[in-house]
A and B are shown apart, each in its own frame.
Chain A
């Protein structure tokens, strides 16, 4: 036995060397591959307010606060500089790099050619905050502090049209060439789209001040970033919101590739983000040294520029940036594997080392005997464990891991793929002061009680009545008919009830009218006074097939002798129920109490499909609030905290019912 274990350990040790060696090599490899530096970096000496690129990235323009427009070529050599009389707020370059538009604090819009010579300037009465130019240079658009959008002719600099917005716009963009359209994003959270002639095509209301807008080449997608750190993707045709991605901190600018697949943005937290245009998923992010003020991207999505508050502007290829990022990710993953593996190797080495000494061998023989016996037994039964591997791995991945993850992330600000920051009990405090959550709790209590009333009245009565039918055939037939509603999917059941509550063609109102009670008709789900009652009323007369089957199944297992004895004693129906049925159905009662509690506390579907929590917030439930926090506001941490609170409530309730309700049949169960 001893020699056998020794040889096993030796084998393990020998085998452990190979992966260990491979690991070291991989780590060396990761370390030696140096992070790719940007193609160039420029120090302007003051805050970079705006950056722009030509389509082939051969011309790069940087506008900074020290009244400087700097044009560079691909190698980072300065080609020329241009100095307006004030801070440069916006720069824009036509696709071929032949025209450069500049918006400056000196209340002028300038148009320059590719040598930096001024072609024309447009004098305004207010400071210009941003500028955009059409692909072919035919149209220049600017926004100014007078709340107006200016459209200027690219050739002459003549004012084509000027439109007042409800509030100051900080950002402007143009898409298209011949039929160029102008986008403006305002401080009161709106994005406006104007046609070539200056007529407004649509406006979209967002949640926070818009700091950047950009559009794809054909305008099919419009992306906007806000002060609250949200990236919002709009359908360019309809202005519908397609998705929202929350990146946390204030965002300052955004750029999108011509095909809409890649989005580049950055802001106050000094991080540059690359997002997938399809769903807003963060593909890459990287921290820079200072807050980001401006971003630019070539239409093909191959090159980008970033301007920062510390006066630096950097230019790089997206692919090089991506590979650096992938390298970082790989190193992280390796470390995550390498550290536990190193610990295991160390432990193995320690065991091996201890066993070489005489004292260690004695220890091994005497004190390690019990664990070794268990280990040997486990090894003997390895086939049993082997059969459990698929089950356990699925459960670990999709059930245990999310549960632990949820409890952990309840204490964090959780932005998957971006950051996970420990905030302690902050979310629980937020919940304590959240009006929606408390309305939800109140409603959950009402739903729990109403659920109990629904389950313990009609289904129990029906079960007793069924049980009292003497004809077996009739009993079976009627029971089967009561179970028919099982074939209706839950969603369908609720949606049909939405129709029944419909104010115009709903069965309820029509019945009231037919009975001459038209005074009682109501917008059942839309009226704050009746909405919750209407939701509770769904399923009237509440013969839940599930509860019915449970009760009925319990009744038919009660020994007939007990009923016979009751009959001999002349017990009334009520007495029989109280003294025989109820005590013997106690385990069924307990089951329904627990399941009803769990179901009602988590109630989501029936609310979501009927009122969505409204009108106002009168029908909110905690689960609905959890869903909205996660899906609408991307507050995964807060949503996890709500989940954790509900978990504790459910756990407490279940344990309470387990203890409080004991069955008369418990002894033989």
Chain B
């Protein structure tokens, strides 16, 4: 094999395609093994998603009787049933998630900017106190926070989701925004200040427009985490009409009884659609958030 490559290299007029072909042949078996292994693992990983989608188009007879066959006839009625139940859960979740995302983006960027660009007494102390919240686990705060929102009369309203989500999401956001704002050149701000920009202008007209990629990252990560939140809505929301997707799905299960798998799987599939849409647009921002922000934390 190496002899052949040698010959190829000795040829005077060897094209780029030829060179590529040579490398390809040299690594063919190793690369094939790697790719096949990965594809095998990938197939196993995607099995639950395939099950979910296939079952969502079958009725119980097809699931029990012809387990391995594809849906025939395809039962779209499952999706009609699923949407009838799920739309309200999805609307509730999106309302609270988006609301708190807007709050988090505004407040985290503002605070991140202040921590990165301002100098004032006790700055680092306050910052460390905020970072210390990353060390406080949910199990410690769950019950007291529940008692608090009950005393505030927020239980079973959308505020019980919006306010704590807004508060909790800021911590990571401040971390992300501070490190980004700190990396902007100081000259930029000095020039603007000389031109007569106010403190708030520096933030809103300089820092914010420059930082939109990091803010999109923050927004997407916050949306995903609130969409997936389970235990907080489980504890604080009791009316089915105000319930969110993650908890609503489990109630959907009991409502249809144990046996009706088709509509349930359709509901699961419907519940994934908002995240699919989100990731189609924002996957790369999400990945950036995980790889850059999380490691620093």
Contact = CB atoms under 8 A, between A and B. Distances in A.
A405 B142 CA distance: 11
B230 A643 contact: no
B230 A487 contact: no
Nearest to B170: A391
Interface string A431-469: 000000000000000000000000000100010011011
A605 B231 contact: yes
Interface string A259-282: 000000000000000000001010
B34 interface: yes
A381 B122 CA distance: 11
Interface stretch (A36-44, A115-123, A476-484): A476-484
Interface in B208-261: 224, 227-228, 230-231, 235, 238, 245-247, 249-250, 253, 261
Nearest to A406: B144
Interface stretch (B71-79, B106-114, B183-191): B106-114
B136 A504 contact: no
Nearest to B277: A487
A495 B51 CA distance: 12
Contacts of B276: 487
Contacts of A487: 272, 275-276, 279
Interface in B156-178: 163-164, 166-168, 170-171, 174
Interface in A610-669: 622-623, 626-627, 630-631, 636, 639-640, 642-644, 646-647, 650-651, 654
Contact of A495 (B126, B231, B250): B250
B181 to A, nearest CB: 13
A554 B296 CA distance: 12
Contacts, number: 261
Q: Decide if the interface of chain B is mainly helix, strand, loop or mixed.
A: helix
A394 B170 contact: yes
A549 B275 contact: no
B151 interface: yes
A517 interface: no
A500 B108 CA distance: 41
Contacts of B292: 553
Given A392-B126, A474-B35, A650-B137, A639 B272 contact: no
A347 to B, nearest CB: 21
B137 A470 contact: no
Given A399-B136, A587-B295, A391 B110 contact: yes
A565 interface: no
B42 interface: yes
B107 A394 contact: yes
A269 B113 CA distance: 55
Interface stretch (A16-24, A216-224, A539-547): A539-547
B285 interface: no
A623 B139 CA distance: 7
Nearest to B27: A470
A505 B67 contact: yes
B46 interface: yes
Interface string B51-86: 110010000000110011000000000000000000
A388 B114 contact: yes
A334 interface: no
A553 B163 CA distance: 33
Contacts of A424: none
A489 B267 CA distance: 12
A496 to B, nearest CB: 5
A483 B253 CA distance: 27
A403 B107 CA distance: 22
B37 interface: yes
B127 to A, nearest CB: 10
A399 B45 contact: no
A399 B283 contact: no
B41 interface: yes
Nearest to A590: B295
A495 B249 contact: yes
Nearest to B155: A279
Most interface-central of B38, B199, B203, B286 (chain A CB within 10 A): B38
A636 B145 CA distance: 11
B44 interface: yes
A150 interface: no
A514 interface: yes
23 contacts: A383-B199, A387-B203, A394-B163, A394-B167, A395-B130, A395-B167, A397-B148, A399-B136, A403-B133, A465-B37, A468-B34, A469-B31, A488-B49, A488-B275, A491-B246, A492-B271, A495-B264, A495-B268, A504-B64, A543-B41, A591-B295, A591-B297, A647-B137
Interface of A: 279, 281, 374, 377-378, 381, 383-385, 387-388, 390-392, 394-395, 397-403, 405-407, 409, 414, 416-417, 458, 462, 465-466, 468-471, 474, 478, 480-493, 495-497, 499-500, 504-505, 507, 510, 514, 540-541, 543, 546, 549-550, 552-554, 587-588, 591, 598, 601-602, 604-605, 609, 622-623, 626-627, 630-631, 636, 639-640, 642-644, 646-647, 650-651, 654
Which 7 A-B pairs give the minimum distances between C-beta atoms? A553-B291, A381-B120, A398-B167, A402-B144, A405-B144, A394-B167, A402-B141
Interface of B: 23, 27, 30-31, 34-35, 37-39, 41-42, 44-49, 51-52, 55, 63-64, 67-68, 107-108, 110-111, 113-114, 118-123, 126, 130, 133, 135-148, 150-151, 155, 163-164, 166-168, 170-171, 174, 199, 203, 224, 227-228, 230-231, 235, 238, 245-247, 249-250, 253, 261, 264-265, 268, 271-272, 275-276, 279, 283, 286-287, 290-292, 294-295, 297
